[in-house]
Amino acid sequence: MSSLPYLPFARPTLDEETIAGVAEVLRSGWITTGPQVKKFEAALSQYLDGRPVRVLNSATSALEVALQLCGIGPGAEVITPSQTFFAAPNMIAKVGATPVFVDVDLISRNLDFDAVERAITPHTRAIMPTHFAGLPVDMDRLYAIARRHRLRVIEDAALAIGSSWRGRRIGSFGDLAVFSFHPNKNMTAIEGGALALNDETEAREVEILRFHGITRLADGTRDVTFPGGKFNLPDVNARIGYGQLARLDAFNAQRRALVAEYFRRFPTAPPCLLPHPGYPGDEAGHSWNLFAPLLPLDQMAMDRQQFRTALEAHGIGTGISYEAAHLTSLFRQYGHHEGALPNTERIARETVTLPLFPTMTPADVERVCRAVSAVLADGSLQ
C-alpha cells in the first residue's frame, strides 16, 4: 500500500468563510427553505445572465420537476443518451414516459445528433441531452432540431455548471437546464440541484411542483393542484451553495489547468483513449467535472476492476462514468439489448474516472500518471 495520502477521484473544496456561514444559519433558527434559498437563487440567476432559477434538494428532483413542467407523462417519448448517470432515464420512466436511448460520440461522449434525428417519432416530446463531463453538446444543432420538431429540451447539465458554448454559459440560454450540487460536482451544497427556467411563470410553477403541489389561496388557506413531491432545499445547503458559487470560476480554472497536466503527462504505452480536450478556440468552455479515459483492455492482461484495485494499492481512488443505462435490469425490460449502442457500450466497458478536484496539484497529477503507467506496464500484453 502507498504511504502517500489517499487521493480520491473527487473531493469538495469548502472554505472557512462558508463553514462559518453555515454556523450562522444554524444559530438563526431558520434552517429549512428561507432567506438563504432566495439569496442563492438570486446569485444563480445573476450568474446565468438573469434567467429565473429555482433550487431543489437534488438534480434528480429537478429533472423530475422539469419533466412535469413540460407536461411529459404516459405515451410520451424522451430522447436521451444511455451514456449518462441513471437519474436522467429513471426520471423519464418515473413520470410514465418512455426513454428512447441513442448512441454517443466515442470521444466527446455526447449525443450523436444524427441518431437523435432518426429516433424522433410522433410520440417524441423532448430531448434530454447530457453535457458529458462538462463538455457542452453542440447547442446549435440541438436547438435547430428542437425547433424544427417543436420539442422541449431539458439539458442535463449536472456535470456542466460553469461550462459555456460560444462564450455563453450553459443554462443562460436555451430551454430548461438542470444542475447538480452533489459533493463530486464542480460546486456543492452537500446535496442539491437547480433548474434554469424561461420565465417567471415557469418559476412559480416549479415552486408549486417542488413543495407538495400546494397553492395558497387569498384567505390564507391552501389548495393542492398537483400531486407534487417535497423537493425544497434547506437554507443550510443554500448557504454552502452561495459560498461555492463565488469560487466556481476559480475552481473550474484550476480543473482546466490540472487536465492540461493530465494531457501532457498521460502514459502512451499502451495508449488509452483520452477524453475530448474541448473545442478549438473555446477550451475554457469545458468545466471538466470528470477526467475519464478509456482503458486499452484489449492490450491488457487485467480487467478494469483489477486495474482499479491496483490503483487503489497506490492510494488512488477511481470511479466509473458511466455504465450503459439501457443494459440495466430496469431498461432491459423495455426491450433493450447488447449491441444496440456500440459506442455507449464500449465506453461503459472501458471507462475509468481518475482523480480531479481543485485542491489537487500538478504533483498529484504526476503521481496518478506514474501509477497508471506502472499498472498499465504490469498488466500489458506487450
- What's the rounded Cα separation, in Å, for the pair 341 and 174? 28
Rg over alpha carbons for the chain, rounded to the nearest Å, is 21
- Dig out the grid coordinates for 326 from the structure: 439501457
Q: Which helix (H) or strand (E) holds 100?
A: strand 98-102
Strands 176-180 and 222-224, bridge-based pairing: unpaired
Other Cβ atoms within 10 Å of 36 Cβ, number: 26
Q: Which helix (H) or strand (E) holds 195?
A: strand 193-196
Residues 6+ apart with CB under 8 A from 269: 373, 376, 377, 380, 382
- What's the rounded Cα separation, in Å, for the pair 342 and 103? 7
Residue 135: closest CA among 171, 109, 105: 109
For 280, the 3-state DSSP assignment is: coil
Of the candidates 38, 39, 94, 185, the residue annotated as catalytic is 185
Written as one letter, the residue type at 204 is R
- Dig out the grid coordinates for 197 from the structure: 427556467
Is the omega angle on the peptide bond into residue 322 within 30 degrees of 0, that is, cis? yes
Provide φ and ψ at 353, rounded to 5°: -95, 125
- What's the rounded Cα separation, in Å, for the pair 49 and 37? 18
CA distances from 342 to 77, 80, 87, 227, 348 (A): 22, 15, 21, 39, 10
The yes-or-no answer on residue 185 being catalytic is yes
Return the active site residues: 185
